[in-house]
Chains A and B, each alone.
Chain A
Amino acid sequence: MTITTGAPPPTHNTPVALARGFLTGGVVGASLAALVVGGIIESVPLFVTGLVLPAVYGLLFFLAGVPRRVREAALVPCTALARVESVEAVGGEATSDVAVRFDLTVAPDDAPAYRVAFTQDINLADLPDYRPGGVVVVQYPPDRPWRVRIVKRPTPQWEERAAGAQLDSAPGPAMVSETPEGCAVGFVTLLALLLAAAGVVLLFRADLFDEGTSGLPPSSVQPSVSSSSSSSSSSTTVVSSASGTVALGPNQSFLDKDALRRAVRTLTKGTDTRAALTVVVQERLLSIVYAPTGSNAPTFDPESLPYDRFPALVKEARSSLGVGSPQTWQVTVERLTGSLTIRVGVTGSDGAASLEADGDGKVVRRTPAH
C-alpha cells in the first residue's frame, strides 16, 4: 500500500480565509459599536444599523456560499472499505451518542489507500462494531477525501464486501478533516473588530463627547450653557423656580439640525424638574422657565416638543405671512390655555405676524401681517 497522492486538506490561513476573517471581524466590531454608540447618543438609525449590518452580512455570506454548496452537493460521494486503526472516545459521556476519534486506512477501489483521522458521533450500543483491525464502510466526497464518514447502515452489497475483506494498514501520517484554525486568521479578525469599533466611535465622537461634557466650560463650537437658579436671581417672588438659558456662539443657529434638541437635553440634565412653564427660542438663544415647586400651573415636558418641526414652522412663518424681509423670529411654547401651543412670531419690514401650531407641530392658526 502507498500513501495517497490526493490533495491535502486546505489550511485556514489562505488569503481568502484572511479576508473572510477581516470582514467578519469588521462587521462584528462595527455592529457592536453601532449598537452601543447608538444607544448612548439615542440615534435610532445607528442602532438599527447595528442590528441590520450583521443580518445583511450573514445573508451575503450565505448567498456567496450557494455556488460552492451546489457544486459540492452535486458530487456523488465515494464509497469504500476502510480498516479501523485506532478508536478513542473523546467526549459526550453523558449522552447515548459519544464522540469517537477514528484513525482509518481507507482503501478506495480505484485509488491508493490512505490514512485519515476524524471524529464522528457513535451510539454506545454500536461501539463494539468498531474495533481496531475491523473493516467498515465509509463515504467521502471525491474532491475532499479527508472528509470521511462511517456508513452506519451499509447496503447488503457493501456489507458482504466488508465481511470478507482483509485490508492492510497504510503508513501515516493521517489526513485530518479538521485543520486547526490558523493564528493569523484569529489575529486579523480581532484586529478588524477593534479597528471597526474604533472607527464607529471616532465617526460619532462629536455626539459622544457632547453627551459626556455637558458640564464643561463653554467653547466657541459648543453651545455656551448658563443655568441660573432662582436663589441667585434678582427677583424674589420666584424663589423656588429655576430657569435655564443656552446662548449659541456666532455663526450658529438653533435652526441647525439637532442643535435645539441637544441644547434642551443639556439643560434638563442639570435640573431636577422637567416641568416647564415656557420655552422661548430665538436665533441663538434658548430659555426655559420651570414651574415653581408645588405650583398648579399647567406645565409640559420640554423634551417632548417636536423640535424637528421648528425649522419648518419658522420658515413657513417667515415666508408665508407677508412680513416682508424677515428680521427676527421667536418661538414661544406654553400651555397656559390648556393645550400645548407653539407660537412663532416674526417681524419684518412690513410688520409683525405669527402662526400657532399644536403639540404635534401642525399649524392651527395663522395671523398674517396687516
Chain B
Amino acid sequence: MGLQGYLVLWCGVFGTVALIGYTRSLAGMTKAQRAVRVMGRIEQVREPRHGSSGMDGIPVVVSFQDPSSGAEFTVTNDRDHGEMITAAWTGRQIGVRYPRGRPHAYRFVSDLTAGRRGLGWPNFAVFLIYVGLVVFAAIDWAWPWALIGFGGPWTVNSVWYLPQSVRAVSRRIDALTAQPPVQARVIAVLTDTDTDSEGGTYTSHTPVIAFTTHEGTPVTAYCTDDLPDPANAYGRNITIHYTPDDPAVFTPDIAAEHRSRPLDLVLGIVLLLLGVAAVVVGAVLL
C-alpha cells in the first residue's frame, strides 16, 4: 500500500468517525445533548482544613432541582464530581450536569452551555483528517507545504483571537480597578505532594483566602496566582481587587495585572508573526 493508500485509509476512518458524530449530533443523540443541565445554588460554604488537599475544591453544599421530577437534591463536591470549585459564596449559581434520570451522577460545570452539541470528537476527527492531508502534501509534493498547512490556520486563529484577547485583558483590568480594594486573609494553605515516574517528589501549595465584598458577601477562594511565598502564606492579610460582577475574578497584585498587559499583547503578536512567517517561508520555498 502506497502513501496514497494510507491517506485514503486515514481519511476514510476519521471521516467515518466525523460523519457518525455529526449525524448523531444532528439527531440529538450525543451524550452531551441528552444530559440534563440545571443551575444549582451554593447553600453553604465550609472552610477548608489547613494542610489538606487542594484537589477537592472549596467544600460547598449545593442544591439543585431535577426538572423532570421536580425533586430537590442537596449534594457536596469533591474531586469525583466534575470541575473543581475554586471560588464560593452562599447564593452563588453553579452549573450542574448529569445524565437524564441519574441526578446522583451529577457533575459541576463552570459553563453550562459549553459542549452542548457534543461535537468535540467529530471536530477532532476533522482536525486529524486535515493533519493527514498536510502531512501527505509535505511528503508527496514538497516539505514547505507543511509550513503553509500549519502556519495558515495558526495565523487565522491568531488574527481572530488577538483582538479579543486584548479587549478581554482591558475589560478585566477596568473591572478590577472599578472599585476600592478589600482586605482578605489567607485562611488555609492546601498542600498536595505527589511523586513523578522517577521517584522524585513535588509539592504544590494552594493558598485559600477569605474576603467580604463591599456588598457584604463573604467569599472563599483559591488564590493561585500573584501571591508571593504561598507555602508560608497561612494567616497573612492581603489586599485584593475583585470585579463587582463576579467576585471569583480577583487579584492580590493589581500592578502585576498592569505589567502583564503589554506582555500579553507582545506574546500575541509574536505568535501571529510566527504563523505569518511560516506561511511566507513556505510559499517562497515552494
Q: Give bound CA distance, A151 to B77, whole Å.
A: 10
Contact between A125 and B195, CB atoms less than 8 A apart? no
0/1 per residue, A106-132, Cβ < 8 Å to B?
000000000000000001111000000
0/1 per residue, B215-249, Cβ < 8 Å to A?
00000000000000000000000000000000000
Other CB < 8 Å A-B pairs besides A94-B195, A95-B195, A125-B191, 12 of them? A76-B104, A95-B193, A96-B192, A96-B194, A97-B53, A123-B52, A125-B51, A125-B52, A152-B78, A153-B77, A155-B74, A156-B44
In residues 133-177 of chain A, which contact B (Cβ within 8 Å)?
151-157
What's the nearest-Cβ distance from chain A to residue B186, in Å?
Answer: 16
What's the nearest-Cβ distance from chain A to residue B23, in Å?
Answer: 19
Q: Which residue of A lies closest to B57 (CB)?
A: A153
What is the number of residues of chain B that contact chain A, defined by CB distance less than 8 Å?
Answer: 26
Q: Which residue of B lies closest to A157 (CB)?
A: B74
What's the nearest-Cβ distance from chain A to residue B198, in Å?
Answer: 12
- Neighbour of A73 across the interface among B105, B194, B195, B201, CB < 8 A: B105
Is B134 in contact with chain A by the CB < 8 A criterion? no
Q: Give bound CA distance, A123 to B192, whole Å.
A: 9
- Neighbour of A153 across the interface among B59, B101, B195, B201, CB < 8 A: B59
In residues 143-160 of chain B, which contact A (Cβ within 8 Å)?
none
Q: For residue A94, which residues in chain B have a CB less than 8 angstroms away from its CB? A: 193, 195, 201
In residues 50-77 of chain B, which contact A (Cβ within 8 Å)?
50-53, 56, 59, 61, 74-77
A95-B194 in contact given A123-B52, A155-B74 (Cβ < 8 Å): yes
Q: For residue B74, which residues in chain A have a CB less than 8 angstroms away from its CB? A: 155-157
User: B residues engaging A (CB < 8 A)?
Assistant: 44, 49-53, 56, 59, 61, 74-78, 99, 101-102, 104-105, 191-195, 201, 203
Q: Which range contains the number of A residues in contact with the other chain? A: 10 to 19
Is A324 in contact with chain B by the CB < 8 A criterion? no
Q: Give bound CA distance, A140 to B50, whole Å.
A: 29
In residues 239-256 of chain A, which contact B (Cβ within 8 Å)?
none
Is A216 in contact with chain B by the CB < 8 A criterion? no
Contact between A73 and B44, CB atoms less than 8 A apart? no
Q: Which residue of B lies closest to A153 (CB)?
A: B76
Contact between A153 and B78, CB atoms less than 8 A apart? yes
What's the nearest-Cβ distance from chain B to residue A190, in Å?
Answer: 28
Q: Give bound CA distance, A124 to B56, whole Å.
A: 14
- Neighbour of A74 across the interface among B50, B56, B78, B102, CB < 8 A: B102
Q: Give bound CA distance, A56 to B102, whole Å.
A: 31
Q: Which residue of A lies closest to B193 (CB)?
A: A96
